[in-house]
Each structure stands twice: as structure tokens, then as C-alpha cells.
Amino acid sequence: MNRGLNFARFLIEQKKRNKSIDDALVSLINDVSRACKNIAIAISKGAVGDYLGDADGVNVQGEQQKKLDVVANQIMIDFAERSGNLAGLVSEEMEDVYPIVHDDLRGKYLLIFDPLDGSSNADVNSSVGTIFSVLRCPGTCLNPTAADFLRPGSEQICAGYAIYGPSTMLVLTLGDGVHGFTLDREFGEFVLTHIDMKIPVDTREFAINSSNQRFWEEPVRRYVGECLAGTGGPREANFNMRWIASMVAEVHRILNRGGIFMYPRDTKDPGKPGRLRLLYEAYPMAFIVEQAGGAASTGRERILDMQPEALHQRVPVILGSKNEVELVVGYHNELGLEEFKSPLFNVRNLFVQ
């Protein structure tokens, strides 16, 4: 595999190496990559295209939609539906499953995506992304329901993201490592630029929204406190902090130079055990991070082992450099015994009823 290989050719090479990759999957991933190129064009027009600011509606989570959320969602649906390889799709921006109803367009895969992650960043000309995940459709693939999408993350056959930053990149795993492609705008092609990306196991850089500190659980307070203590603290090292407010951008930084990203469980909103969504944020990113040698956990459980209960379920996320993630998980385990004895820190507790 050589740098400079174009994306379509890369997929053909992958298919030769891996019998479980068929023509339909290759064609679907190609169409997702074309959708990402079109989203990149819309984003880059910014204010000139009248794409900045709020749309009229709110999404299923009750969050204000941005104009670009709506545009990116429609672009993904158009390309994915026309690919003819999907039984149905699920998007952050739509409450229910979107089934493919035309017989001649229906295929055997399921696509789950967040069309524009971190979309408020677009208004300030900062990085945003698209996240996607592909499953095989169980059963007949006729009119798939939510139950067909509620499968453990370990069943994903492909996951990826596009990052729209100073350059547009597509990062992909088919379960055999992680590879990054950069969009060559003159030729309109993604070309292989980052072969077999690996996350360093150690890091001195963490990312967390520290304005939520008063809502964190004890293991996260302890971890961040020890990082902040620097050379004089138990870690005997100085740590750096980053927060871009776009999960795609945080994961991309971690894939390139290591780090730990946390949106942990907190007590800010008792109805939500975390901020990030399992199916189209935590699962695909956990698959990518593990394939790059990192780790991804809720603090209590490996993310890819979770059994989802709802399409838009939220979960705590702690991912990145393996040794740091394991340290934070260890702090959760240490507290675990006491945690479930104490009414203050139980799953159902004084804060979370």
C-alpha cells in the first residue's frame, strides 16, 4: 500500500485482501466519501453560501439545528440512498429509522451517521466533521426497524470520519488498521496520506470540558487533579490541555500525536448519563481508536461491548492513549466498590433518580 493511492483504488485493494468486503460495501463507502466531498464544498462556502447560523428547527435531542446540520444531513441521505446498497439509515438529525423503500434501491447494509459533528464550530470557521458507521443488516433487510440498528459496537464492519479543517481528510477502518486520506481539491480525490495510523500508548495531553468539573464523578476529578498537579504531583510530569469542542477534531489530534479525550458521566443533567451519542459518536470512534492501538471506555465498560437500548442513547466516553485510559478506568474500578455502596454515587443516586 503506497502513499498517493486514490480512495477508490484503496478500497479495491482492501477487497482483494479481505473476503468479507464485497462490491456492495466498496460502492457504499465510495458514495459516503463522495457525500463528504460535497459537505466539504458546502462548509467551505461559509457565509458566502449563506450556510452559517441556526436553522428553523431543533433535532431529536431538542438541540438547535444549524443550517449546515440540515444541509449535511440531506447530502448524506441523497448519496447513501442512491448508492443502492442500504436497507436503511439512522442519523443524529432524524428521530426514527429512514428505511429505503424502493425495491431497486434497497441493499443489505445499514448506515448510521452524525452528518456534522461539532456543528457550532462552523460558525466560527473552526474544524467540524462527519462520523459514520456501517453494519450488516440482519434478516430480510425489508423495512428495518430500530432493533436492527441496536447492535453491539463490535459488529461494526466499517467506521470512519471526515474532518473539515485546513484540509479535508477522511479516516477509515475496515477492521484492519486505520488509514487517512487527504482531499486533493484540484483533482477532487481523496488520496492515501496516513498509512496505518497508531496512537502512542502514553501521553501528556488531556481534553475535557473543565467547565463541568463540579458535576464530575470522583475518578475523573482525581485523574484531572493529578494531571494539573504537574511535576510536583503524583504523576511527576506536566500535562497540557486541549478542548476544540468537536469530537472529530479531538480524535483526529489523538490519532496523530496521542492524548486522552473525556466526556465522562456527570450529574449536570440527571436525565443524561453522558453527552455523546452511542451509535454515531462513541461506537465508530471507539472502533477507530481501538484499531489504532488505543482504548475506549465509559469508565465502567469497554464501549464496543455495550448493548444499545435506544437509537439516540447517550454514554460517557473516555478514549485515546491506552495507558492513560486504563489509568482512568482503574480509578473507576477502585471507587467502584464504594461507589455502589454509597447513595451519593450509585447509578440511581441522590443526583440521578
Site residues for ligand F6P per CB under 6 A: 117-118, 209, 245-247, 263, 275-276
Tell me the C-alpha distance between 294 and 256, whole Å: 12
Instruction: Quote the least distance from Cβ 209 to ligand F6P, whole Å.
Output: 4
Residue in the block written with cell 467502584: 336
Which CB sits closer to ligand F6P, 81 or 324? 324
- At 280, phi and psi to the nearest 5? -120, 5
Q: Looking at residue 312, what DSSP letter applies?
A: T
Instruction: Quote the least distance from Cβ 214 to ligand F6P, whole Å.
Output: 14
Tell me the C-alpha distance between 312 and 240, whole Å: 32
Instruction: Quote the least distance from Cβ 164 to ligand F6P, whole Å.
Output: 13
Instruction: Quote the least distance from Cβ 247 to ligand F6P, whole Å.
Output: 3
CB-neighbour burial class of residue 165 (10 A; exposed 0-12, middle 13-18, buried 19+): middle
Parallel, antiparallel, or unpaired for β 128-136 and 64-66?
A: unpaired
Which CB sits closer to ligand F6P, 29 or 128? 128
Which CB sits closer to ligand F6P, 51 or 280? 280
- At 316, phi and psi to the nearest 5? -70, 145
- At 18, phi and psi to the nearest 5? -130, 110
Instruction: Quote the least distance from Cβ 105 to ligand F6P, whole Å.
Output: 30
Which CB sits closer to ligand F6P, 28 or 39? 39
Which residues lie below 8 Å from residue 175, measured CB to CB, with a gap of 6+? 156, 157, 158, 287, 291
CB-neighbour burial class of residue 160 (10 A; exposed 0-12, middle 13-18, buried 19+): buried
Instruction: Quote the least distance from Cβ 241 to ligand F6P, whole Å.
Output: 13
Which CB sits closer to ligand F6P, 117 or 148? 117
Instruction: Quote the least distance from Cβ 207 to ligand F6P, whole Å.
Output: 8
Cβ atoms of 100 and 87 closer than 8 Å: yes
Which CB sits closer to ligand F6P, 257 or 268? 268
Which CB sits closer to ligand F6P, 92 or 324? 92
Please give the residue whose beta carbon sits closest to ligand F6P in the complex.
247
Cβ atoms of 251 and 259 closer than 8 Å: no
